[in-house]
Structure 1
Amino acid sequence: MGLILYKWLLPAFFAFHPFYVSVTEIEHVKAKNEVQVSCRIFADDLENVLKKESKLPLDIIHPANKAQMDSLIAGYISKHLVVNVDGKVVKLSYLGYKIEEEAAWCFLVAQNVTPFKQVKVKDDILYSEHPNQINMIHVIRDGVRKSNKLDNPKAAVSVSF
């Protein structure tokens, strides 16, 4: 009986073991001379880190104060995501977020950015929360996509076109 129970519980443990990953896409839109950024972060993880930092009761899916939630998310992302284009840090303006299934999609834009040769990205989103956090970075220019994986504690990548 014990062996049967063990054989059943072991796969169940792995099936429910959480994984921690975010995806950031950075795309240059030539027609608008801007860089559009989207970050897909598990909503519960983002909510938990914002609760810890702000010491406020929060609900990211149904916020009591949407402007406050936007401000907290914008502040968090600005501290943990930095995009450097051809040697210059670009100013990312936070546009907002939406919830899709279990993910929070956060949107940012940098204007007046000409096509670049090199992008350096520092992304340590949720690293303080999860030692196993993985952050995927996709950089797109002229339809060419280059992808990189950052495993905590590695937080920076350089992409050349």
Structure 2
Amino acid sequence: MITFFSKLLLISFFLSIYSPSRLMNKSKHPLHVSTTEVNFNPKEKGLEISCRIFTDDFENILAKKFKTKTDLSKPSMQKAMDELIKKYIAAHLSFNVDGKVKKANYIGFEIDHEATNVYIEIADINSFKNLNVSNTILYDLFDDQMNILHVENGGFRKSVRVNYPTATQAVKF
């Protein structure tokens, strides 16, 4: 009798996970995370930065924040989306390199499957030992947002993770 209830419980669990309503709603995902990669390029004397954000979440926050229609995959909207992304990233991602605030320059974005990659750079960095990042990407949309930072400098890689509401990520080499 116990094995019958165990099997019934197991079947109920799988049905709840794989129910048609869950499978049809592919735009929802249970994990709210962004990843920021920072690579120091000594030849170019700068930081090359990419942010990876779920496209559906990113479109939702851009539409909400700027009160406009968004579609990151539509070529005819590329220029308008560039402007929105540039403003959003500037407001939610800032960098302090060795105690000095540095302005990041927006390069562009591209869609990669279910994520959007945003590219920015910081010029005129000869070297660095300390990087502080303030990252509030999607904090204005989710209270369970997690932001991960990966930093590569001189062949060494360090990673830091923060959860909402913590915004500051610090890496020392």
Q: TM-score, normalised by structure 2?
A: 0.86
Which amino acid is 2:120 matched to?
L
d(CA) in 1 for partners of 2:110, 2:29: 26
Query: Equivalent pairs: percent with the same residue?
Result: 38
**Deviates most, 7-16 or 42-51:** 7-16
d(CA) in 2 for partners of 1:7, 1:52: 35
List runs of 5+ in structure 1 lacking aligned partners: none
d(CA) in 2 for partners of 1:153, 1:124: 8
Q: Does 1:25 align with 2:37?
A: yes
d(CA) in 2 for partners of 1:8, 1:32: 52
- Map Cα deviations across residues 82-130 of structure 1 (whole Å, 9 max, x no partner): 1110011111000000001001000001111111010001101001111
C-alpha contact (below 8 Å) 2:40/2:47 kept by paired residues:
yes
Q: Does 1:140 align with 2:149?
A: no
**Offset at 1:73?**
0.2
C-alpha contact (below 8 Å) 1:23/1:136 kept by paired residues:
yes
Q: Does 1:55 align with 2:67?
A: yes
Which residue in the other structure is 2:95 paired with?
Answer: 83
Which amino acid is 1:52 matched to?
K
**Offset at 1:63?**
4.6
Comparing both chains, which one has the higher relative contact order based on Cα–Cα distances under 8 Å and sequence gaps of 6 or more?
A: 1
Structure-to-structure mapping, 1:98-137, within 5 angstroms: 98-137=110-149
Which residue in the other structure is 1:93 paired with?
Answer: 105
| SS of residue paired to 1:64 | helix
C-alpha contact (below 8 Å) 1:63/1:69 kept by paired residues:
no
Which residue in the other structure is 2:13 paired with?
Answer: 7
d(CA) in 2 for partners of 1:44, 1:70: 16
List runs of 5+ in structure 2 lacking aligned partners: 1-7
Q: Does 1:45 align with 2:51?
A: no
**Offset at 1:17?**
5.2
d(CA) in 2 for partners of 1:133, 1:84: 22
**Offset at 1:64?**
3.1
C-alpha contact (below 8 Å) 1:138/1:146 kept by paired residues:
yes
Distance of aligned partners of 1:68 and 1:6 in 2 relative to their CA distance in 1, 3 Å threshold: same
C-alpha contact (below 8 Å) 1:124/1:155 kept by paired residues:
yes
